[in-house]
Amino acid sequence: MNSPFSSKNLRRFSKSITCKCLVLVGIALFFRALSLSYSTRNSSFLFRARYMSDSSSTAHKFLEVPQIVWGLNNQKIAFARACLTARTMNRTLLMPSLSASLFYKEVHKLRPIPFDKVFQFERFNSLCNGFVRLARFSDVRNTTHSFDLEKGSGRRWTVERDLEQLKQSAANEFEVVRVVGKNPFLWHDHWPVKDYAKVFECMVVVDEISREADKVVKRIRQGGGDNRIMTGLVPFVAVHMRIEIDWMIHCKKLEQRLKVSEICSSKREIMERVGNISGLKTPTVLYLAVADSLLDEESSVLTGWRDGLVPYEKKKLGVKEEVYGKYSYLVQSAIDYEVCLRADVFVGNSFSTFSSLIVLERTQKMRRLGFTSACEDGENEWRSYAYNLAGGSKGVPRRWMTNMTHSSLEAISYGSSSVSCSSE
């Protein structure tokens, strides 16, 4: 019997130990590799999670503004200014409430209406993608914790101080910065006309308002169903007649304060200047956009026009109750805006915000067609005129395009007599 310590047995034992060691080393290396792999993956995951968290906190910072008030186009300007403020602060604007009713001093009577009941929310974000963005309040994660930013006021609160406040607030780490105080229309203006125009282009009315405007435009182009005009569809001129009692009081005071005489226009002057526009075919239907409920009882906007011009207002068209009567003041204004925007020719007052925004949008449409000027006589598409300003010839209204090079929206927000036929 061989000894367990014989050379033969020792060689076998040695081989056995070596194999076992190799196996153990292999197992150890395997688990080490597995551990390193898991650690690397876990570390990578944590880095990505941290990065995503940081990006998310940057992308999900919001700006909240007060309820937007006053007339339709004052509200559009205020909304655009709120959007551009959010852009400057690198934040997303929380969808604000507009005001369905028109009360200047009795704020408690203002009826809020959500932005997306007048303008298309998703369409806005699609068209303005990469420029400005809207969010819903449901997108906010912490609704109880926000930072209140109070806008300054008074003469000492200069444009420079306001802009510095915005820049400093851009670094604020709160998820929501809530601006408290006055209506955004009254905030300082830091942005060029082109930036405002971009926001306005993204503000597409909801389908219901667009369909109602379609009805009115079709009725106008059919001459109100008047067989004496002609069959088929005819061109029409939209005239934004500012001769209401409240407007005449306002514009007279404005003329006195500014020491000018080109803001108010009488019914007679409007009729004369519109009648002298060159290139109007006969007959031409006039749509008179006027708040007839605010007219002097003895005033009739339908009589006194020259031959060949056939005037219509809401009541004569048969749309006052059928279309406009169903809606709030704000929606009525939005329908009227769409109707005037689609006219073959538009004539308005250069001190009216309503007229000025329509001309801005028509100017944009002309520029997309390659026209930067409308100074030459002729039947340019999207022609606009200011009836309160004299044109080149006696008794003719001034041709009007928005100057897209202006560094602020002041001329549109508050009116101007410095308008021309060029957009540059």
State mean pLDDT over 50-57: 36
The first and second tokens of residue 69, run together, are 């008030």
Residue type (1 letter), 24: L
Strands 97-99 and 112-114: antiparallel
Residue 341's pLDDT is 98
Residue 113's SS3 state is: strand
Residue 252's pLDDT is 94
The order of strands in the sheet holding 383-390 is 309-312, 284-289, 236-240, 345-348, 383-390, 397-399
Please, which pLDDT band fits residue 10 given cuts at 50, 70 and 90?
very low
For residue 262, report the phi and psi dihedrals to the nearest 5 degrees. -120, 35
For residue 324, report the phi and psi dihedrals to the nearest 5 degrees. -70, -35
Residue 282's pLDDT is 81
Please, which pLDDT band fits residue 377 given cuts at 50, 70 and 90?
low
The size of the chain, in residues, is: 424
Q: Rounded CA gap, 289 and 337, in Å?
A: 9
Mean pLDDT of the chain: 85
Please, which pLDDT band fits residue 214 given cuts at 50, 70 and 90?
very high
CATH fold group of domain 62-202? Rossmann fold (3.40.50)
Q: Rounded CA gap, 96 and 137, in Å?
A: 9
State mean pLDDT over 200-223: 96
Minimal CA–CA distance to 341: which of 353, 358, 354? 358
Q: Rounded CA gap, 97 and 113, in Å?
A: 6
Please, which pLDDT band fits residue 390 given cuts at 50, 70 and 90?
very high
Q: Would you call the peptide bond into 283 cis, given omega within 30 degrees of 0 as the criterion?
A: yes
Residue 42's pLDDT is 41
Minimal CA–CA distance to 196: which of 380, 406, 368? 406
Residue 102's pLDDT is 77
Which of 32-36, 170-174, 350-354, 392-396 comes out lowest in average pLDDT? 32-36
Contact present, 59 and 88 (Cβ < 8 Å):
no
Which contacts (CB < 8 Å, 24+ apart) does range 36-40 have?
A: none
Q: Rounded CA gap, 223 and 235, in Å?
A: 9
232: left (phi over 0), alpha (psi -120 to 50) or beta: left
Please, which pLDDT band fits residue 103 given cuts at 50, 70 and 90?
low
State mean pLDDT over 308-326: 94
Which of 35-44, 77-86, 170-179, 237-246 comes out lowest in average pLDDT? 35-44
Residue type (1 letter), 303: T
CA angle 195, 75, 258 (to 5 degrees): 85
Q: Percent of the chain, pLDDT > 70?
A: 80
More confidently predicted of 73 and 55 = 73
H helices within 1-71, ranges in order? 7-59
Q: Rounded CA gap, 143 and 132, in Å?
A: 22
Q: Look-up: residue for tokens 């009729």?
A: 271
CA-based radius of gyration for the chain: 33
Q: Rounded CA gap, 261 and 255, in Å?
A: 6
For residue 341, report the phi and psi dihedrals to the nearest 5 degrees. -60, -35
Residue 51's pLDDT is 30
Could you read off the pLDDT of 110-123 as tens digits, one per residue? 789 999 999 999 99
Q: Answer yes or no: is pLDDT of 237 > 80.
A: yes
Residue 223's pLDDT is 80
Residue 232's pLDDT is 60
Domain-wise residue ranges, the chain: 62-202, 207-414
CA angle 66, 77, 288 (to 5 degrees): 125
Please, which pLDDT band fits residue 393 given cuts at 50, 70 and 90?
confident
Q: Rounded CA gap, 248 and 228, in Å?
A: 35
Q: Answer yes or no: is pLDDT of 108 > 70.
A: no
The first and second tokens of residue 172, run together, are 């604020």
Contacts of 278 (CB under 8 A, 6+ apart): 377, 396
Residue 346's SS3 state is: strand
State mean pLDDT over 13-28: 53
